[in-house]
Amino acid sequence: MRKISTLLLVFLSLNLFAQLPKLERIEPANWWVGMKNPSLQLLVHGDRIANSQVKLAYPGVRLVKVNKVENPNYLFLDLSISSAAKAGKFPIQFIENGKVIAQHIYEFKDRSTQTDRVKGVTSADLIYLLMPDRFSNGDQSNDVVKGLKETSLNRDSMYYRHGGDIQGLINHLPYLKELGVTTVWMTPEIENDMQQASYHGYAATDHYKIDPRYGTNELYKSYVEKCHAMGLKVIKDIVHNHIGTNHWFFTDLPMKSWVHQWPKYTQTTYRDQTVMDPHASEADRKQMLDGWFVPSMPDLNQENPFVQNYLTQNHIWWIEYAGIDGLRLDTYPYNDPAYMADWAQKLKAEFPNLSIFGETLVWSVANQAFFAGGNVVNRGFDTRLPGVTDAVLKDAIYEALNGKNGWTDGVNRLYATLAQDFLYKDPSKNVVFMDNHDMSRFYSMVGEDFDKFKSGMALLLTMRGIPEIYYGTEILMKNFSNPDGLVRSDFPGGWKDDTTNKFVENGRTAKENEAFNFVKKLANYRKTTSALQSGKLMQYIPQDGIYVYFRYDESKTIMVIFNSNEQEKEMSTDRFFERTKAFEKARNIISGEELSSIITLKVPAKTTLVLELK
């Protein structure tokens, strides 16, 4: 992709005041009375709308300030909404020379009275991550939408649209329920009207609109309601850091400082260390935070108060509109730290049960903990970020499965990583995973070794934190992230012309069914076992390639034994007396076998046993 030579020229060239309606849009399109924060800032976009005077009158609503900015096609209206304001509609008028040139009927609605509508996602949940374009096509009528820039549908290419949509996901919610999933996370669903390869959703072109190839705002809200009716929760994936170059407000920037400007195209270094390094140069830190992620994704300037208000209000709008339970924050380390702390505080004020976790694909526990909430001593402020994506624990599990044992290698890496949980305020809020849409699939990463696959899934589903699985992991979908992006392949059976349907038992191979049933058994056991959800974790130093930990509370004690060796091992349980002294027997959760004694145990090669002690 060609480089952008001068962003200042981009700003100037994009602001030649192309033909616009007198009033093109007002965002947020509506709001709610009864919000904790009485302030609201409306973005108004229209042809030289700044030449107008603004008039509105509604009980309990006061126009505090009309902000004019560099681009005369914008106004930012600061409103104050009293606690006495009632739901209703009222006109906002734009007047020039004593004449009304445009009018918009704005609406305040009542907030939802359902107290548990936003439920929050906790360590009692199991998250299922999917890409809507690649999961299932439930509505062929929206595969190609006239007027959008990408009009090709090509399932033979990983870089074109494949036609999956929200209706396709709705159709298969019973499949997820059967598997034992409690929470659904889609990659971003909002409009990405880019020329190509924006099916992933991370290049937004309209923050308030579901991409029409996925459905409508109304369908998205219905999807959340259907999930809740089935006992499922919903996570929305949001991006603070960047947008797509075809975003409507990038093609007509409100002001130069809306995005980070550089004399020539400057990409981020992707070096999160510069944010935490006490010895870092300001130049390195600036490039990390302000450099563009890629040329097609302009970097939003989160130090700009107008940008801050726009993003914060947008996220509040979606939660109140649809009743979302949690947010996953894309590219968290690249965002302005002070703003993100303020953002989290404002959202939690409106939705106390809302769950938030940030993507932190970094290389050490200390790096992850730096971004997590509660690390006030090292940061000087609280990020108020409850949890992170625990990529370091993921790497440690891979090392335990694939590595050779040494003082800090092999299974000892897993032990040592968990031993650093003291760095987190609450590690149970971290999301634990083995793969996602940006990395090689789990089954391929363990060399398609089925024993390792089962061991890894057992570790994932008994570990502290919130487990997440990537779509298709449960049926042994495979492939590496490079070079062809095949980790984003379609789920077989999600399209009417698919020759196989892996959503149903008779469409899967014997091994795929074994994998599915293995995950199903553990996931559903976890749903009814508080010890695996919120119980304490006690681990023991690995010996002879065997790693043992316990999850326990007042109701149950679960013993997890991982044998990383290539051969079966017999193990005495004497050294675990601290946790086993009250028990004589056990039940193998996977096989259902009842063990009459736990004094010595035989552990097959490359196997994780999950035992409920009795």
* Distance between CA atoms of residues 533 and 149, nearest Å: 45
Q: Establish whether 303 is a catalytic residue.
A: no
Rounded (10°) angle between helices 391-402 and 450-462:
140
The whole-angstrom separation of Cα 78 and Cα 305 is: 12
Tokens of 449: 């070794």
All residues at 6 or more sequence positions from 436 whose CB lies less than 8 Å from its CB, including other chains = 129, 468, 470
| Three-state secondary structure of 345-383 | HHHHHHCCCCEEEECCCCCCHHHHHHHCCCCHHHHCCCC
Please, where are the H alpha helices in 119-246?
A: 132-135, 166-171, 173-179, 217-229
489-500 burial: b if 16+ Cβ within 10 Å, else e: bbbbbbbeebee
- The Cα 538–Cα 533 span in angstroms is 14
Using CA atoms, how far apart are residues 144 and 607, in angstroms rounded to an integer?
47
Classify burial at 479, counting beta carbons within 10 Å of its beta carbon; exposed 0-12, middle 13-18, buried 19 or more.
middle
Catalytic residue among 330, 336, 399, 435: 330
For residue 28, say if its preceding peptide bond is cis, omega within 30 degrees of 0. Answer: yes
Q: Is 512 a catalytic residue?
A: no
DSSP 8-state secondary structure symbol assigned to residue 525: H
Rg (CA), the chain: 26
**First-residue to last-residue Cα distance in the chain:** 61
User: Across the chain, how many H-helices and E-strands are there?
Assistant: 18, 26
Scan for tokens 């795929």, then name that residue: 512
Active-site pick, 133, 252, 320, 359: 359
Give the amino acid at 579.
R
DSSP symbol at 33:
E
- Is 607 in contact with 566 (CB distance < 8 Å)? no
Q: Tell me, letter by letter, the H, E, C secondary structure of 40-66.
A: EEEEEECCCHHHCEEEECECCEEEEEE
CB 348 within 8 A of CB 142: no
> Tokens representing 221?
């809200």
Residue of 238, 235, 150 lying closest to 201 (CA atoms): 238
Strands (E), 381-422: 387-388
CA atoms within a 13 Å half-sphere pointing along the CA-CB vector of 280: 16
The SS3 assignment for 199 reads coil
Write out the catalytic residue numbers.
330, 359
